[in-house]
Amino acid sequence: MNENEIESSLRERFAELRSLEQRRVPEFARAIELRPPHHARRLRFVAVVMVVIVAVLAGGRWGLRYAEERERQRTAAAAPFMASPVWHSPTDSLLRTPGNDLLATVPRIGYPSNPPRQPRTITKGTAS
């Protein structure tokens, strides 16, 4: 085979492939007609957005219910401990030591336990 024969054979094969492909592919005008109209695409987009919004709101509502139920359970569990108006730590008894009453007040440093006397006044010539 010479070059001209090879080239013509290749051209024939490519032409055959092109004709096969053209038979399978629809015309451009028909492909455009099959495409959904713009308003249908917009409607589909709006529907998807609405489904997402409903899902988010439902999830948020479920989350709130779950949080409220957990709070109710915590409150019910803490009720026996909250019956007293004054809270006492479980280790308060460890802080009570012998002689604790001495530590109830802060001593005044520099003064005797009885109140100080009136200062003496010194007048000229006599001491009182």
- Check: CB of residue 100 under 8 Å from CB of residue 107: no
In terms of C-beta distances under 8 Å and separation of at least 24 residues, what long-range contacts does 39-48 make, across chains too?
none
Note the pTM of the prediction, 2 decimals. Answer: 0.32
Predicted confidence (pLDDT) at residue 23 exceeds the cutoff of 80:
yes
Q: 60-97 pLDDT, tens per residue?
A: 888 888 888 998 888 888 777 677 677 778 888 888 88
Predicted confidence (pLDDT) at residue 9 exceeds the cutoff of 60:
yes
Please give the single-letter amino acid code of residue 57: L
* Residue 87 DSSP class: -
Residue 48 tokens read as 């998807």
Say how far residue 41 (Cα) sits from the centre of its chain: 35
d(CA 5, CA 11): 10
